[in-house]
Amino acid sequence: MAQLIDGKQISKEIKEELKAEVEALRAMGKEICLAVVQVGQDPASCVYVNNKKKACAYIGIRSEAYELPEAVSEGELLALVEKLNHSEHVNGILVQLPLPAHIDEDKVIRAISPDKDVDGFHPVSVGRLWIGEPGFLSCTPAGIIQLLKRSGISIDGKECVIVGRSNIVGKPMAALLLREHATVTIAHSHTKDLRKITKRADILIVAIGKRQFIDAEYVKEGAVVIDVGMHRDENNKLCGDVAFDEVSEKASAITPVPGGVGPMTIAMLMNNCVETMR
Ligand code: GUN
């Protein structure tokens, strides 16, 4: 049985460290404020936004909620972002995605000041990441790096395969692993002979959005397996992109779902909020 990589515990450690840092900042008269913008009432977004607000409260970051109706115009949303860009007491701006179809998501992301882009989605943040300049890191991939490091898994020189090429996970994950001196392959839906590629991986990161798609046949004996997926199985239980039971027999270490990558995303968002003051 593989070592379980405990995202719940590791995210708790990070939040405790951040809480102490925020207390020290407050003692110097510095307060951090995150503006959380939500459009409409998508149930999943409501859960995520609520968890982000709770994490802020726990760490000592002030969160300001902006709840806009589903029918809000793109212009009104852009005007709010512009106001927050110029607001001196707001350090970070988060616009919860997805946005309704009548709003251009890319336009909204580009409107956020790169200095307040705590999601790390702005093209300036993405560019900084790829050329190795300091900047805000995309939260889920940054969380995965922390999971590996804090579990004592070295990345330097390892063969890493990422399955999935999204802007939020796959691509920034590749940049961060490169920064840690790994050899990186990104596989995706057009990749030929996926099993052959994934079986090369010392560290396999799966973000394809297909329930329990990666079974033991895709995994090398002793590999480290990181599962970014989140689904419900036939019994309504949470599960990931990886068939956990059989893969955990073959892997040396694996993240569970829930309690693996999920809690790390919010911890790293909190880290980015604190980063605005460092
Ligand atoms: N929707 C799903 N994940 C995220 C995230 O990390 N940030 C934002 N802003 N929206 C999301």
C-alpha of residue 35 to centroid of ligand 1, in Å: 14
* Type of residue numbered 156: D
C-alpha of residue 96 to centroid of ligand 1, in Å: 5
Determine the pLDDT at residue 16.
98
Ligand 1 atom with least separation from CA of 94? 9
**Ligand 1 close to Cβ of residue 117 (< 6 A):** no
DSSP assignment of 1-55 equals -PEE--HHHHHHHHHHHHHHHHHHHHHTT---EEEEEEES--HHHHHHHHHHHHH
**Ligand 1 close to Cβ of residue 96 (< 6 A):** yes
**Ligand 1 close to Cβ of residue 37 (< 6 A):** no
Q: What is the pLDDT along the chain (278 residues), one digit of tens a residue?
A: 899 999 999 999 999 999 999 999 999 999 999 999 999 999 999 999 999 999 999 999 999 999 999 999 999 999 999 999 999 999 999 999 999 999 999 999 999 999 999 999 999 999 999 999 999 999 999 999 999 999 999 999 999 999 999 999 999 999 999 999 999 999 999 999 999 999 999 999 999 999 999 999 999 999 999 999 999 999 999 999 999 999 999 999 999 999 999 999 999 999 999 999 99
Give the global pTM.
Answer: 0.97
pLDDT tens digits along 204-214:
999 999 999 99
CA angle 169, 172, 173 (to 5 degrees): 70
Question: Residue 136 corresponds to which tokens in the numbers above?
Answer: 């805000």
C-alpha of residue 278 to centroid of ligand 1, in Å: 23
Torsions phi, psi for 108 (to 5 deg)? -70, -45
Determine the pLDDT at residue 1.
87
The catalytically annotated residue of 6, 38, 96, 227 is 96
Q: Is 52 a catalytic residue?
A: yes
**Ligand 1 close to Cβ of residue 97 (< 6 A):** yes
Atom 1, ligand 1: residue with shortest CA distance? 97
Q: Is 53 a catalytic residue?
A: no
**Ligand 1 close to Cβ of residue 119 (< 6 A):** yes
**Ligand 1 close to Cβ of residue 95 (< 6 A):** yes
- Rounded Cα distance between 106 and 132, Å, is 23
Bridge partners of residue 36, in order along the sequence: 65, 94
